[in-house]
Amino acid sequence: MTSGHCHYSMGGRPDPEPCRPQDLGKFEIISRDGEARIGRLHTKHGILQTPMLLPVINPNIRTIEPREMWDKYRVNGLITNSYVTWKHDDLRQSALDKGIHSLLDYPGVIVTDSGTFQSYVYGDIEVEPGEIVDFQRDIGVDIGTMLDVFGRPDMSLEELELAVEETAKRAEISLKNAGEKLLLNGPIQGGLYEDLRSKAGFLMGSAKGDYRGFAVHPIGGIVPLMEQQRYRELFHILLAAKSTIPPNKPIHLFGCGHPLLFPLSIALGVDLFDSAAYALFARDDRILTPEGTVKLAELNEWSCHSSALFPYTPAEVREMDKDDRSTLLAHHNLEITQAELARCREAVRKGKIWQLAEERSHCSSRLREAFEWVIEQIEESDEGPVGESALRLISTTDPVRGKSEQLSVDIDSRPHILHLNALLATRWRKPGSWWDGSEGSPERVAIISGVPPPWRETAIETVVSILLEKPRSIILIATPIGLVPFSLEDVSPWCHIDCSDSLWENTLDEYELNIWLDDLGIENTPIEIFYPSIEFDLDLDKNSTKLIRSWLDRCSIVDKLSLFCAISPSKSCNLTSNMSSRKSRTDRMVNVFFDEEHCLSPRLTDGALSLTLAGAVKLHEINPDPPPLFDNDQLLNELDHPGIPRVLISDDAIPFVEKGRNVIHGFVLGADSHIIVGQPCLVVDKNGSLIAHGIANSTSDEMSFFTKGIAVKIRDGNSKR
Ligand code: GUN
């Protein structure tokens, strides 16, 4: 049981299963938080679960044996240099004879680089672009790299343009020579010029081979920036390049391996890292931690632990001979790198990657500067490639989430909160009619201040009293992250902000208040502020209270249909004209009935809406036409309330989806551009007939690119139509 061909190696993990031939090179998203994604890249030597780091193996100096990386550290992919292997006659012959997996004694995914980096460090190299791809193919590499032209940050625009053009020119022969089985990295160069990075993303992203285009897009030419800790420029380049890289291709930060940079990189959409840092830093007696690098010489105790370091004190390690010490520290560095990536992946799954990125940004002033620059871009979304990526960060993020969120300095700038606020500003409307049957403009804006959620408990009496006193009152709640209509009181993140009670008081100054009221379109209405502890002198008349409460419930459903399903308030008013609900013991609506039919339920975790099939049918009646096909020049829908978004699927998928199976990427022919990830959508056929309804996993742009993974998670099929 020791041969490389057996399924189990001695005492180690089983060898990986090769992917199905039709999946080779495909990338799918399993879970996401906006652009941050948990993905799976399918290869002949198993699945790379991303975000992950490919440790660099120098075939001549193996600080940690690849087999140990596989068995002990669960490293599912590594990167080595095909040029170094090609250049050494004995390594070259042995790789050609045995294959690279046997040569390295590693069963997982082997990625190779092409010699570009050597040309940057040492000057000219001796290999031709076609030749190095042939070699990578012939030694059985999983993901090779074409010979790109390294664009240094100090190069002129003209030099960098040449580097980008020459790299794009070489793409053709590289993809041709890669053939059917070798997947290829198509690096994005362009130095510090954002337009050039975006042009390179487009050229490399649209390159087509006989079998496929590039499988992965590394961002190249960034090592000098990382060495000089020029992180703002690094993230600037990343955002610029991302504006044109197809969303179904994983992005690799070439040469980036410091754990400090993982959270923000991942939040911005990086899927792969590679680095020799674990070994290089160890040789230099430096220790990686998620908060930065520390010198062994300066430590009394380990400030960041690992199983490698536990048996020793820093003094004992300092006493070791040089080789033993480097090996030990390299093990620690690799362990910390793996642990931080696991932490990041878990943060993506839990919707907390931005919180982690914010926390880490406080560990280094250079990183803090970069983080602040990034959130400025997201908040302002200027024109150009960076603005485009910044907008995409917001629009791909589910605006709500089911978990509590710690209040922090930069919480207002997180993409999900900006997305929710944008929905509020464009889709929320002041009520057109009031609980007492009156119509017309509001008389006042009543702002509830000073009480924490749940406001249906802490503020309901005050709200009822306000409405009894003046029925035409708009009720808003002041929260530490802005004003929210009372109708959305159970929507996260507003109702899930975790902070001390005192922070619910005096949350907004006058200037901020006016901006919020302006965004909500109610800037010219008189304001009154209410603190729920103040007693009212009004009798809470039972009949009126009942009328007020059912009006509040109706407002809540109208506002949620407007925000999350893009239904216009006037149409929602019609839908809800005969509305009733079943409530929980904590006074939340559980089931909502239109004309006695159960049509939807507010989601208990995040306050957004969950449709029933009957509800989906009713929303479908409002816009029964099919959505636009992807091949047509998609016109962005300019309406604030274009109706519930729809996904158009091919006829082959209908028999499955109408029975409740999920919509798989590759079967989607068109979709409305206003789909929101995590929110309800309808699935229709070419005539617009309702096939099913579910929750969108991707934006419409993504649906036009991806060919694997779930596009819509179906709740109900409409098989009895
Ligand atoms: N390794 C680090 N940076 C680069 C790059 O720009 N291109 C290639 N091929 N390898 C790299």
Closest residue to atom 9 of ligand 1, CA basis: 116
* CA pair distance 279, 157, nearest whole angstrom: 35
Mean pLDDT of 7-31: 87
Atom of ligand 1 nearest to the CA of 185: 9
Mean pLDDT of 375-398: 95
- Has residue 375 been placed in a domain? no
Query: Region 354-367: what's the mean pLDDT?
Result: 98
Pocket mutation for ligand 1, best pick of 56, 82, 112, 120 (most atoms within 8 Å of C-beta): 120
What integer pLDDT is reported at residue 36 of this predicted model? 98
Partner residues linked to 330 by β-bridges? none
Residue nearest atom 6 in ligand 1 by C-alpha distance: 220
- Looking at the CA of residue 151, tell me the nearest atom of ligand 1: 6
Q: Are 123 and 41 within one domain?
A: yes
Please report which confidence band the pLDDT of residue 511 belongs to, taking 50, 70 and 90 as the band edges.
confident
Residue 60 is predicted with a pLDDT of 83
Residue 145 Cα, ligand 1 centroid: separation in angstroms? 9
Taking CA atoms only, the protein residue closest to ligand 1 atom 5 is 220
- Count structural domains, the chain: 3
What token pair was written down for 547? 């009328």
- CA end-to-end span of the chain, whole Å? 57
Q: Which of 354, 327, 373 is nearest to 411 (CA)?
A: 354
Report which ligand 1 atom has the smallest distance to the Cα of 145. Answer: 9
* CA–CA gap between residue 501 and residue 60 (Å, rounded): 60
The four Cα atoms 225, 231, 237, 239 give a dihedral, to 10 degrees, of: 160
User: At how many degrees (to 10) do helices 353-361 and 365-380 cross?
Assistant: 130
Dihedral sign, CA of 280, 281, 283, 287?
negative
Q: Tell whether 209 and 61 lie within a shared domain.
A: yes
Give the mean model confidence (pLDDT) for residues 594-614: 97
What pLDDT, in 10s, does the model give residues 406-416?
Answer: 999 999 999 99
Query: E strands of 93-250, at which residues?
Result: 109-113, 143-145, 183-185, 217-219
Domain membership flag for residue 392:
no
Query: What SS3 class is residue 421?
Result: helix
Instruction: Please tell me whether residues 354 and 483 are part of one structural domain.
Output: no
Return the pLDDT at 721. 80
- Choose, from 15, 113, 553, 672, the residue flagged as catalytic: 113
Residue 391 domain-assigned? no
Instruction: Say if residue 417 is in the same domain as residue 554.
Output: yes
How far is 133 from 184, CA to CA, in rounded Å?
9
Q: List the structure tokens of 325.
A: 């010490």
**What CA–CA distance (Å, rounded) separates 225 from 495?**
41
Tell which atom from ligand 1 comes closest to the C-alpha of 147: 9
How remote is the C-alpha of 448 from its chain's centroid?
34
Regarding whether 657 and 596 lie in a shared domain, the answer is no
Atom of ligand 1 nearest to the CA of 115: 9
Residue 252 Cα to ligand 1 middle (Å) = 10
Residues in a beta bridge with 433: 439
pLDDT in tens, 567-590: 999 999 999 999 999 999 888 999
What is the structure's pLDDT at 10?
A: 55
Looking at the fold, whether 587 and 618 belong to one and the same domain comes out as no
Is residue 293 domain-resident? yes
SS3 content of the chain, % helix, strand, coil (to 5): 40, 20, 40
Are 298 and 428 in a shared domain? no
- How far apart are the C-alpha atoms of 112 and 682, rounded to whole Å? 43
CA distance 667 to 288: 45
- Same structural domain, 688 and 559: no
* CA pair distance 175, 166, nearest whole angstrom: 15
Residue 262 CA to ligand 1 centre (angstroms)? 18
Read off the pLDDT of residues 237-295 as tens digits, 9 standing for 90 and up: 999 999 999 999 999 999 999 999 999 999 999 999 998 999 999 999 999 999 999 99
Both 634 and 584 in a single domain? no
Percent of the chain with pLDDT over 90: 89
Contacts of residues 429-434 at CB distance under 8 Å and 24 or more positions apart, as own/partner, are 429/521, 429/562, 429/569, 430/474, 430/520, 430/521, 430/522, 431/474, 431/555, 432/569, 432/570, 432/573, 433/573, 434/471, 434/472, 434/551
* CA 185 to centroid of ligand 1, rounded, Å: 10
- Confidence band of 636 (pLDDT split at 50, 70, 90): low
| Residue 379: inside a domain | no
Q: What is the mean pLDDT of residues 706-711?
A: 98
Tokens, residue 669: 């022919």
Amino acid 308: pLDDT: 96
| Cross-strand bridge partners of residue 274 | 54
**For residue 556, with 0-12 CB atoms within 10 Å meaning exposed, 13-18 middle and 19 or more buried, which class applies?**
buried
In CATH, what number is assigned to the domain containing residue 616?
2.30.130.10
CATH code (residue 168): 3.20.20.105
- Residues 42 and 48: their CA atoms lie apart, in Å, by 7
Measure 458 CA to ligand 1 centroid, in angstroms: 58
Q: What is the pLDDT of residue 443?
A: 96
pLDDT at residue 714 greater than cutoff 70:
yes
Ligand 1 atom at minimal distance to the Cα of residue 150: 6
List residues near ligand 1 (CB under 6 A): 113-114, 116-117, 145, 148, 150, 187, 220-221, 223, 254-255
Q: Rounded to an integer, what distance in angstroms lies between the CA atom of residue 113 and that of residue 648?
A: 41
Residue 690 reports pLDDT greater than 60:
yes
Residue located nearest, by CA, to atom 10 of ligand 1: 117
Residue 288 lies in a domain: yes
Look at residue 383 and give its three-state secondary structure.
coil
Q: Are 429 and 465 in contact (CB under 8 A)?
A: no
Tokens of 431: 């009520």
Q: Which of 569, 602, 635 is the last residue of a domain?
A: 602
Range of the domain at 510: 406-602
Q: Which of 82, 116, 219, 252 to mutate to test the pocket of ligand 1 (most atoms within 8 A of CB)?
A: 116
Tell me the mean pLDDT in the region 426-431: 97
Provide DSSP, 384-403: SHHHHHHHHHHHTS-S--SS
Give residue 90 CA to ligand 1 midpoint distance, Å. Answer: 25
The answer to whether residue 374 is domain-embedded is no
Beta bridge partners of 275: 55
Query: What average pLDDT is seen over the chain?
Result: 94
pLDDT at 493 over 90: yes
Q: Is 509 noted as a catalytic residue in this protein?
A: no
Evaluated on CA atoms 407, 411, 415, 420, the torsion sign reads positive
Ligand 1 centroid distance, CA of 231 (Å): 17
Q: Whose CA is nearest to atom 11 of ligand 1?
A: 117
**One domain for residues 56 and 170:** yes
Kindly report, residue by residue over 523-570, the tens digit of the pLDDT.
999 999 999 875 555 567 889 999 999 999 999 999 999 999 999 999
123-170 per-position pLDDT tens digit:
888 899 999 999 999 999 999 999 999 999 999 999 999 999 999 999
Query: Does residue 12 sit within a domain?
Result: no
